[in-house]
Amino acid sequence: MIKKKKPSLLLPIGAAVLLIGGGGAAYWALTKGGIGSGDLPVGAELIPQDALMTLSVSTDPAQWQQLREFGTPQSQAAFDQNLAQLRDRLLTANGYDYEKDIQPWIGKEASIALLAPQPVSSAPNVAPVLPKPVAIVVLPIQNPLQAKQLLEKPRSQTAGKLVDRTYKGFQIKETQGKAENFSVTVFDGKLLVVATDPKAMDRAIDTYKGEQGQSALKATPGYTQALGKIQATPSFGRLYLNFPAATAFTVANAPKAAASPNLAQMSQTQGVAATMNLEAEGIHFKGITWYKPDSQKTYKVENNAKSMPGRLPQNTLLMASGGNLKQFWQNYTQGATAINLALPPVAPDWLPNALKSTINMDLDKDFLAWMEGEFALAMVGVPDGSPSGLPFNLLFMVQSTDRRATEATFKQLDQTMADKYKFKVEEAKAGDQPITNWTLPAIGFAVTHGWLTDNVAFVALGSPTVPVVNDIVPKPATSLADSQPFKASVPSDPNPNNGNFFANLDLYKAKKLPLPQLPLGNQNLIDAVRSIGVTAAISDDRSTRYDVSLLLQKAGKPAPLPSPTLPPNAPSQGNNPALDIPPAAAPVPSP
């Protein structure tokens, strides 16, 4: 008989959730193991296919130690404090010590799946309560004997109520009368499974037994193939996001005004998956997105991004590049890019409407028609002590597929800016290259446009006293692509690729530029990141690949976690039957 208890399984899972919310970089995770699951995550046979998200993380102490070494002293201390609080709430309060009681028998990773909750009807004229996803947590039992010995320890009867029930041959223990109630059982003596809702446990059992209409995570179309493309050994973890299910859940619980008009298009994406690896200088992610088998959409397989980082100066703070601007915008407006989540940051119709209302030009006809080549948008720093009040310049580059059409667009822009907005428009030169300047002394910035080569046009906006054009014409003395921060941050794979993203946060913060506020207000996270690099590629007509690197500060070897303390209102040190599940049998064969 294999027994189980609940607090043991929640430490690694709670830590994984903590990484998503407060650790920022460490949120992508799933692993391998389970009952004959091969390279699939633990529990892939019992997690329902319609789970919103599946996450698993390593339980290897050495990897957690390495993770804790990253960051600033402040972020390291905050992270350790969160881990200690999680330990105390889930283990200490119930009489357990992770290293002594849990670590000896737990497997190499732990998984959690989030499922959409059952709809809850509310009384008339009463505001509905925002539903929370329910969780299924899976812990592999690596040493059944040690687990059995631990779970047979005497338990106090000081609080809570336990009930027993049987469902399709599985003996289940459930807590009642607490703020958080749980259902627990063991699958084949190998997996300890906990659910935060009895119906979720029943669904896991139905899924495992192959009941009609209950498909498992491992049967998700394209799932196994997608994970095979992003394998990383040894990985700290892996993640799978059921994109249509998660998007529908988010939109259904968002304000009506915020619902995405592209939900149908976005739902053609089957999933987003990623693996996470800990490296010497930070964290590396391999990600993939793919369409459903019956999706009407396919990707245009182009990986033509090659030269743009080499045209940018080394003092670039932020940049994003791609291989085909017209195609990128088309994908964005149809909800097909990775940044199109349930609530896209910029409404797709904002830009064409803005161009029409301000300069009376059409985005598709006047711009995108000739923008089918490489492009880059960058924020370039200005030298310290420069007379300009602007701390950076904005730079846009694009490879034109029709120079005559590009010249016509520039000519119309020049005329509009001179006639409607009273800019001074004049011809000039940067080196041997002709350029056009728009200046308006009253507003303190200038716009310059011109050509870098026969087919690469640029537009720069920034300081009239420190123009960025001096850094890029004819070419940078030292390019961004040749700089050490870029080389260290931006992954070389996939290759060939369809674009990059790079953020030099060390340089950005050195110039004291404002940083965006995180949803959780965790400024320590941004302080811990040195740089971010992303490389993207179209893998095939139904999937895209992304590699992401986070270079992090290193605070060094962390101190031991604070000594365990009981949370407020916790029961006395000892085993609490309301949370500490007593022995339970392995599944009993159905008659």
Query: What is the tens place of the pLDDT at every residue in 476-490?
Result: 989 999 999 999 999
487 assigned to some structural domain: yes
Task: Report the sign of the C-alpha dihedral through residues 332, 334, 337, 342, in that order.
Answer: positive
Phi, psi at 365, each rounded to 5°? -75, -40
Total domains present in the chain: 2
How high is the pLDDT of residue 14?
Answer: 36
pTM of the model: 0.83
Distance CA 51, CA 29 (A): 15
Same domain, 376 and 514: yes
Query: Is 565:302 a contact under the CB 8 Å cutoff?
Result: no
Name the band, by pLDDT with cuts 50, 70 and 90, for residue 293. Answer: confident
Distance CA 460, CA 450 (A): 9
Name the band, by pLDDT with cuts 50, 70 and 90, for residue 261. Answer: low
Instruction: Please give the span between the terminal C-alpha atoms of the chain, in angstroms, as a whole number.
Output: 19
As given in the structure block, the two tokens for residue 300 are 């245009």
How high is the pLDDT of residue 178?
Answer: 59
Distance CA 571, CA 558 (A): 30
Distance CA 538, CA 554 (A): 34
Distance CA 25, CA 552 (A): 10
367 assigned to some structural domain: yes
Q: Where are the beta strands (DSSP E) in 142-296?
A: 161-167, 170-176, 183-187, 191-195, 237-242, 269-278, 282-291
Q: What is the overall mean pLDDT for the chain?
A: 80
36-45, 184-193, 367-376 — most confident range: 367-376
Among 136, 118, 140, 117, which residue's Cα sits nearest to residue 55?
A: 136
Same domain, 319 and 219: no
Mean pLDDT of 246-261: 67
pLDDT tens-digit readout, 163-221: 889 999 999 988 776 556 788 888 988 988 989 899 999 999 999 999 877 899 999 99
Pair type for strands 445-451 and 543-552: unpaired
Same domain, 385 and 238: no
Where is pLDDT greater, at 145 or 325?
325
DSSP string spanning 488-536?
A: HHS---SSSBSEEEEEEHHHHHHTT---PPPTT--HHHHHHEEEEEEEE
Lowest-confidence segment of 15-24, 151-160, 302-311, 514-523 by average pLDDT: 15-24
Residue position matching structure tokens 């609530």:
343
- Stretch (H or E) spanning 458: strand 456-462
Helices (H), 178-286: 198-209, 223-229, 243-252, 263-266
Same domain, 49 and 110: yes
Same domain, 86 and 143: yes
How high is the pLDDT of residue 307?
Answer: 93
Name the band, by pLDDT with cuts 50, 70 and 90, for residue 463. Answer: confident
**Given a cut of 90, is residue 285 above it in pLDDT?**
yes
**Given a cut of 50, is residue 590 above it in pLDDT?**
no
**Given a cut of 90, is residue 18 above it in pLDDT?**
no
Residue position matching structure tokens 């149908």:
264
336 assigned to some structural domain: yes
Same domain, 194 and 311: no
How high is the pLDDT of residue 103?
Answer: 87
485 cis-preceded (ω within 30 degrees of 0)? no
577 assigned to some structural domain: no
Q: Any idea how long the chain is?
A: 591
Domain boundaries, position 41: 7-121+129-269
- Stretch (H or E) spanning 356: helix 350-359
Mean pLDDT of 309-334: 91
**Given a cut of 70, is residue 272 above it in pLDDT?**
yes
Same domain, 259 and 166: yes
- Max Cα–Cα distance, the chain, nearest Å: 90
Same domain, 513 and 455: yes
Among 412, 377, 427, 369, which residue's Cα sits nearest to residue 398?
A: 377
591 assigned to some structural domain: no
Same domain, 242 and 381: no
Where is pLDDT greater, at 584 or 25?
584
**Given a cut of 50, is residue 2 above it in pLDDT?**
no
How high is the pLDDT of residue 520?
Answer: 52
In the chain, the amino acid numbered 194 is V
283 assigned to some structural domain: no
In the chain, the amino acid numbered 383 is P
As given in the structure block, the two tokens for residue 587 are 């599944």
Same domain, 262 and 350: no
For residue 126, give every residue at least 6 positions away whose Cβ sits within 8 Å of its Cβ, in sequence order, or none.
none
